[in-house]
Amino acid sequence: MNRIEFYLKYIFRSQDGGYNNWRFYFPALGLAVGIMSIVITFAIMQGMEDEVFKKLEAINLSSKILDNHFIKPNNDKNFIFTIDKKAIISNGDNYRIVNVRAIENFQEYKNARLYEFIEQIEPDLSGVILGLSLAGKLNVDVGDIIELYSPSDINFITGSPNSLKVKISGIFNFKLLDYDDRYIFTDISIGENLFETANKEIYSYLDPAELNHRYENIRNIKTWEDEHIDFIAAMNLEKLAFSSFGFLIIVISAFSSFSIICVSIIRRISEIGILRTLGYSKEMISQIYFFQSLLIGLFGGFIGVFLSKLFIMLDGSYSLTSQIFSSELLFDFKLNISNYEIFIIYIIGLSIMLFSGIYPSMYASKMPILKSLNYNK
């Protein structure tokens, strides 16, 4: 009988002489549940993040030019003027504060960025496009006329804020409440008429790397990620918070493995003494219990990864996440996690389980032979 075969028989042999040792399977199952929890949590959070970022990229242009000396080149479609300013929108006695984003070449921007999110639209694009949630609160629909007020632009003749009546030419649904409830998109001509004192900002469809490569005189650039840095940080913190639950399960499983191996050593002290008299060295005794931790980690980790991959595969075919969390989710998304990330989670789980076996294996190897043989006498 070789050494590995002996280790396996020793580990799996139960007290009654059979080979159905629950003390092995219990911590392995805990590790599997922990790894599965972390992998699925990461996949859900990453899938949600990808979908949110896709929407934010559609809404926001890639780069904002902050260089004051930069002059927008004529007929260069890589750059556009925009006006972003707060206004008051009204439908009769119903008022809301909104962010108006007026964009140069709005037709092109709409077709390139907004079209897949627009639920209702009419051919006349001389008006504004607003969010579904905002339209519901104002009780308006496509084709209705609403009025916009600019509190920062006062008409010196009437003493009242500048106002402009515009037609609703479309309704979008990003399924992001901050935008669906507060944003209006329109052509820059409407922004210029409403906001007489507003400064135009220069944006580009190109990312910073491409801008620096093509235009040497542009240095100060702000990306859409920079403008949403707090939101991105909050999403990362949320991912960490949810994942900590899975790591907690792994730690509990490791502690369970530690306790079970210690109990197993105590119950088999006399057996350890017999093995020592038969010529087994301290290192071999230590290897038995360390090997048990290794097997628990490998087996539990494999089951956890297998079940996680199975869930992700089934979710892609049957949208399990959407069915389970149908009332909590604002939008559908695909679970997304790389094999590298799954491997890292597996290695972390395995390492924690191996660490839990260090002390018991060292304790077993240092047990004096005579004390072991006389333990139950």
Residue pair 35/250 in contact by the 8 Å Cβ criterion = yes
3 state SS of 65: strand
- pLDDT tens digits along 291-342: 888 888 898 899 999 999 999 988 877 777 766 665 445 567 788 889 999 9
Q: Are 272 and 347 in contact (CB under 8 A)?
A: no
Residues 7 and 290: beta-carbon distance below 8 Å: no
Tell me the pLDDT of the chain (377 aa) as tens digits. 577 776 667 666 655 444 455 666 778 888 888 888 889 888 888 888 888 888 887 778 778 887 767 777 777 778 888 888 899 999 988 899 999 999 988 888 887 788 888 887 776 667 899 999 999 999 999 989 999 998 887 776 666 788 889 999 989 988 887 888 999 999 998 988 888 877 888 888 878 778 777 777 777 888 878 877 887 888 888 878 877 877 788 888 778 777 877 777 777 777 777 777 777 777 887 787 788 888 888 988 999 999 999 999 888 777 777 666 654 455 677 888 899 999 998 998 888 888 888 887 777 777 776 666 565 54
310 contacts 39 by C-beta, under 8 angstroms: no
Are the CB atoms for 349 and 249 separated by under 8 Å? no
Q: Both ends of the chain: CA-CA distance in Å?
A: 31
State whether residue 140 is helix, strand or coil. Answer: coil
Task: Note the pTM of the prediction, 2 decimals.
Answer: 0.73
Q: What is the pLDDT of residue 146?
A: 93
Q: Helix, strand, or coil here: 162?
A: strand
13-27 pLDDT, tens digit per residue, is: 655 444 455 666 778
Could you give the CA distance from residue 197 to residue 150 in angstroms, rounded to a whole number? Answer: 10
> What stretches of the chain show up as alpha helix (H) in DSSP?
3-12, 22-59, 106-109, 132-138, 177-180, 188-194, 208-214, 224-227, 229-267, 269-277, 282-318, 320-324, 339-356, 358-365, 369-373
Paired sense of beta strands 161-172 and 145-154, if any = antiparallel
Domain boundaries, the chain: 3-53+230-373, 79-204
